[in-house]
Amino acid sequence: MVILFDQYNMPDNVYELIFATSQQVIVGKLLIEEIKQHDGEMGKTEMSMFATQLHDGFTIETEQRFPIPIKKKEKISYNKRQFYDRILTPMKTMGMIQYDMYKKNYKISEQFNKNLMKIGLMWLQETRKAPFPFEVKK
């Protein structure tokens, strides 16, 4: 997954930085909140039940902030296969969620933060390298 962002227009939350659509932002946030409600860990069965619940659809209360805070009910429905392909798998590969193959459970991970710090260090190393000599032929 590629993260593109504008440093002058950073979003308010990390989900808007990671996901392309507002529906994906909501589903990603719901997933993390669901894992938090299960004490930071969810088994495969619980994850499947959550994906099925998303597939069937349910209503959540959202808040619109502009011009004044307004709460409204919104129906959320997300295809189960797309949930695994577009939400869970990217969050696993970026290090936001960790899957333990032995325990067969998912948990929130801090690896995402460590990866971003590593990327920052890679950039600092790149900027400090000596220039590579090359010539442009005419």
pLDDT score at 4:
83
Q: What is the pLDDT of residues 23-64, one digit of tens each?
A: 899 899 999 999 999 999 999 999 999 999 999 998 877 776
Coil, strand or helix at 59: strand
pLDDT at 66: 62
Residue 81: inside a domain, yes or no? yes
Q: What is the pLDDT of residue 47?
A: 97
Distances (CA, A) of 22 to 15, 19, 29, 109, 116: 9, 8, 11, 23, 23
Is residue 123 a part of any domain in this protein? yes
pLDDT value of position 60: 79
User: Residue 66: which domain range?
Assistant: 14-128
In the prediction, which pLDDT does 31 show? 96
**Is the residue at 3 inside a domain?**
no
| Summary mean pLDDT of the chain | 91
Domain assignment present for 137:
no
Sheet holding 97-100, edge to edge: 41-43, 105-108, 97-100
Residue 8 lies inside a defined structural domain of this protein: no
24's tokens:
């994906």
Residue 106 lies inside a defined structural domain of this protein: yes
Answer whether residue 1 is part of any domain. no
Could you tell me if 78 and 71 are in contact, meaning their C-beta atoms sit under 8 angstroms apart?
Answer: no
Q: What percent of the chain has pLDDT over 70?
A: 95
How far is it, in rounded angstroms, from Cα 118 to Cα 112?
10
Mean pLDDT value across residues 18-23: 90
Q: How many domains does the chain have?
A: 1
**Domain-located, residue 62:** yes
